[in-house]
Each structure stands twice: as C-alpha cells, then as structure tokens.
Structure 1
C-alpha cells in the first residue's frame, strides 16, 4: 500500500458541542467516501481489516471515527443519551467527507446511524450499511435485541469495579467472533473496552429510543449484514431493521459471529466494495 493511503490518525475534527473526534483514514482523499462507525466500548481499530484492504482503499476513501468517549476521542461528561449529539457528530464526519458518503454502522454504531437519520434524515448519505447492528435501544424494543452473551455480561460490564467489569469485558472480547480470535485480537478488543470509562459504558445504555418510523422513512439504498451465529446482537435485530427499511438488502454470514468485518474480512470487504459501487460509482 502506498504511503499516502496508509491509515493515519487525525485528531482535530470537532463534533457536536466542539467535542474532539479522532479518526483513522485510508485511501485517496478525492475518492468516494465511506464513513465507518464502530460499536460499544470499541474503537476505530475495529475496522483495521477494511482500512488495510488494498482493493477498498484503491477505490474509496475510508474514514473510521472513534465515537465520543472512545479511543482517541474526547470523553465529555454528558450527551451520550441525546440523539441530537450523536447526529451532530455524524454530521461533522459527513461534512469532513465532503460529498455524499456510504455510512456504515457496526453494533452500537447502527444506533448512532439511526440517531443521525432521526435528526437529519439522509442528508449527505449515499447509502447505509448496518453490520450486526442495533437500531433501537430499550427494554422490549425489537431493533435492540441482544444475544445470550451480551445479556449475560451487560450488567457486570457496566460496573465501576474492575474486579467485576474486567472478566465480563474479557468474555465479550472473546465471544465477538464464532471462531476464536487470536490472543492479540482479543487483547486489542479488551484494551479498547477498558479504555472507555465505566461511566461512559453505562451512559450509552441509559436511554430508550424506538426507531420504526425512522427506519421506514429511509430513502437511500441500505444493506443489512449480520452473522447468523452472533451471540452479542441477536439476528432478530437485523431482521427487524431489514424488514422496516424499504428495499433493504440482506446479507447473512453463515456460522459467523458479531464481527463479519473481521471474521470474514475478505468477503465483507467484497460486499462493502460492491455496495459502495452500486450507490456511488456513477
């Protein structure tokens, strides 16, 4: 990969309220943009297999942001329960992209995408990819259905006590994929989780948002991706989103867990490249 398209860290982008958002970027800045939003207690490094993919970066500009409170981004005291704040962060990323982008949300990142749609509609969005994503949050809401592992570890994972939280977060890191990750992959996922303060990990779940009407109003192409062996976010959440969004395409990965972007990176990247081409290469 040429030096000028290697992933590089940018620390100066201002999100909602002036909060500093960090991002990693790869590809030619003049290429059509793909904006990548990671999940709860993760970071932009979750997208390493995309940022380092020569075929993707040869055709597209990849912009992978650390959500507020995560990774290299700032950690404000509040705003994590406010759709307008998340929408403002995404709006800043889309403005930075400079032209309509494919917006990709993995896991909790799907809820952030939905918050943007709730507040701003599809302005600046050429297409959407939801990956193992939730689009709702709150007890009994089908678009937020979690899998058995997340249901078991959620409460301890929010604890301020490291003796309680670390084992739960370790389990989460280990069970992100159906096939066991390498020791380095698990260590990196755990490190990302531990970098997020417990107060932020908890605040992200301290909200309720139904999204049926928001999803039904989407007027750009959408691809819904889910692993059928996902133990973190139930495949039912993906089915819900795909059923609500007009014309949504489905791509289920057989025998794959919560991270098709890592567990089946080559196939996922092919799908992402094909989808982006269908909506942006004109």
Structure 2
C-alpha cells in the first residue's frame, strides 16, 4: 500500500485488526519495512495491535531524493530527523490515526523520539530500541564503524557477502548468527530497492540533527527503552541515556544482544511493548 504524506509517497503494510491498538513501527538506517520481520509483526498483532510498518524516505519503495545525490562533507544535509518524524506524523494522518503507539529501532528510535518531541499529541507511548538521544552519547566501536562506513558493493552477490560481514560484527554475540535469514533478507532488500546514496542521505540527517537529550526531558508519553548489552554500533550507554532523559522511562537491557532483534527475544520484546501499550 502507498500513501501521500508530507509531500512524498510512503510505502507501508498493515497487520492485525483495524480495531486493535494502533502501533507504528519505524525502521533504522538504510533499512526497509521488511527489516521488521513479518513473524514479529504478526506476534504484535496477535497481542491486540493494528501494526503498520513502512519505508522511510530514501528507503524501499517510498520516495527517494535522487536529485540530492550523496551529501558532501561539510555540506548541509538534504533533510533532518525532523523531516522523517514529520513523514511519520503525516502517514498517521493518511491512516486516520489521531495518535499511535510508536516503536522505533536504531535510527527509527531517533525518529520516534523526535516524533514524541515535535508531535507529543500523536504519541500514545514511545518505545525506543537500540537507539540514543545523540551520536555523541554512545559512539560505535571502531570495528562497528568500519562496517557501517564500508563501500557499498557493486552487485547482488557482493551485497549478500557484505550483509554477512556486517551482522557478524554488529549482531548479537549471545545468539547464533542466522546466516540463511541474513542472506535471504539482504537479497530481498536488494531486489526491492538498492540505493546506497539514500542511506548516505539518511546518515547525513542523523549527523546534522544534534542531541535530543534536553528535549526528551519534556516527553510525557509513557516510555520503554530496550537495548542490547553487547551492542557495538549503538552501545548500551545510548539506551541508558535515553531512559535517563525521559521522565519515568523504563529501561530493559538484554545480555548477549547486539544491534539486532534476535528471534529468541521476540516473545519477550513483544510482551514488553504490549505491557506498555495496554497499561
């Protein structure tokens, strides 16, 4: 499905009954809506949510800003996290949702935080997963930064190989690496849309958007912060800082979890989200 929102086209999918609690899932840097695993979405739907996952601008089948090219060092970012948050708010308008429970992972957590700051009346609850209130709070390890900034491959096979290298570094060391799932997902994402320049524009938005720490102190939505204790890309200090900034936020950390959502933790993560949204 597609919606026109904030002047762009946004691709989205839904799970569960429209009568369920509205739950908006926001994905991270360079990721597409398919990176919210369909089984995980159905699990959330079974727990009483009307789930929407969508492609951020410059990802998947939503509008790409090809005319902006790859941002040059020192040049203004083509857009900010503010714009990505406004995209989400306008998508909610298109869905006829006055407000929603909002869940964001990694960059998606940054967007969710920004949405709660800019549009507090639209956010019933906030769940920030493996995210941070600012890039200065929890810098990545050297190895994680290296895979994040690696030159994009030139072909599909290279993309699959790079995906395995990346997740072997930033994934969860406490859980077995699902190589088959990683390569399948990487191939599906490549076939659906491959736009490294779009990812670079999203990264520029992150870097240009500054810290949210002070603004988060004004967030009144009930907030849950989930983070892996073994995350090398956004270390657990990012989750701790988020929880410390938002009044009354609850922090849950997982030993052995890196910068992904291990299948074994899906039931617990879904339960934590449901406890928040059904309170």
Q: Which residue does the alignment assign to 2:171?
A: 176
Q: How has the CA–CA distance of structure 1 residues 161 and 266 changed in structure 2, closer, same or farther, with 3 Å as cutoff?
A: closer
Alignment match, 1:7? none
Which one of the candidate residues 10, 28, 45 is aligned to 2:17? 28
Indicate if the aligned counterparts of 2:89 and 2:119 stay in contact, CA closer than 8 A. no
Equivalence for 1:241:
242
Partner Cα separation in structure 1 for residue 96 and residue 187 of structure 2: 28
Alignment of 1:78-227 (within 5 A): 78=68, 81-95=79-93, 96=95, 98-118=97-117, 120-137=118-135, 141-142=136-137, 145-156=139-150, 159=151, 162=154, 166=159, 168-174=162-168, 175-178=170-173, 179-191=175-187, 194=190, 195-206=193-204, 207-208=207-208, 209-227=210-228
Alpha-carbon contact 2:6-2:87 (below 8 Å) kept? yes
Q: 1:263 to 1:216 in 2, by over 3 A?
A: same
| Counterpart-to-counterpart distance in 2, 1:72 and 1:47 | 15
Distance 1:15 1:173, change over 3 A: farther
In 2, are the aligned partners of 1:16 and 1:86 still within 8 Å (CA)?
no
From the superposition, tell whether residues 185 and 80 of structure 1 become closer, same or farther in structure 2 (CA, over 3 Å). Answer: farther
> CA offset at residue 100 of structure 1?
2.1
Q: Deviations over 1:70-122 (max 9, x none)?
A: 1222212347532332122111232225132110010110111233244x231
The structure-2 alpha-carbon separation of the partners of 1:251 and 1:58, relative to structure 1 and needing over 3 Å to count, comes to: closer
The match for 1:14 is 4
**Structure 1 residue 25 displacement after superposition:** 0.8
Is this contact kept in 1: 2:164–2:179, CA < 8 A? Answer: no
Considering Cα pairs closer than 8 Å and 6+ residues apart, tell me whether 1 or 2 has the greater RCO: 2
Cα-to-partner distance string for 1:200-221 (whole Å, 9 max, x where unaligned): 1212222321111221111111
CA shift at 1:235, angstroms? 0.6
Distance 2:244 2:4 in 1: 35
Say if 1:33 and 1:99, in contact at 8 Å, map to a contact too: no
**Structure 2 unaligned regions, length at least 5:** 69-76
Cα shift readout 1:135-158 (whole Å, capped 9, x = no counterpart): 324xxx21x5324542221221xx
- Whether the aligned pair in 1 keeps the contact of 2:21 and 2:100 (CA below 8 Å) is yes
TM-score w.r.t. length of structure 2: 0.83
1:58, distance to aligned residue in structure 2 (A): 4.9
Distance 1:122-1:30 versus aligned 2 partners, 3 A rule = same
For the aligned residue pairs, the C-alpha RMSD in angstroms reads 2.4
Q: Counterpart of 1:259? A: 260
User: Does the CA-based 8 Å contact 1:26-1:57 persist in structure 2?
Assistant: no
2 CA distance for matches of 1:50 and 1:202? 28
Distance in structure 2 (CA, Å) of the matches to 1:68 and 1:263: 30
User: Secondary structure, in 3 states, of the residue corresponding to 1:264?
Assistant: helix
Instruction: Give me the whole-angstrom Cα distance separating, in 2, the residues matched to 1:188 and 1:258.
Output: 18
- CA apart distance, 1:222: 0.4
2: distance between equivalents of 1:182 and 1:237?
26
Over 3 Å counting, the alpha-carbon distance change for 1:147 and 1:16 in structure 2 is farther
- The gaps in structure 1 that reach 5 residues or longer are 1-9
The TM-score, its normalising length taken from structure 1, stands at: 0.82
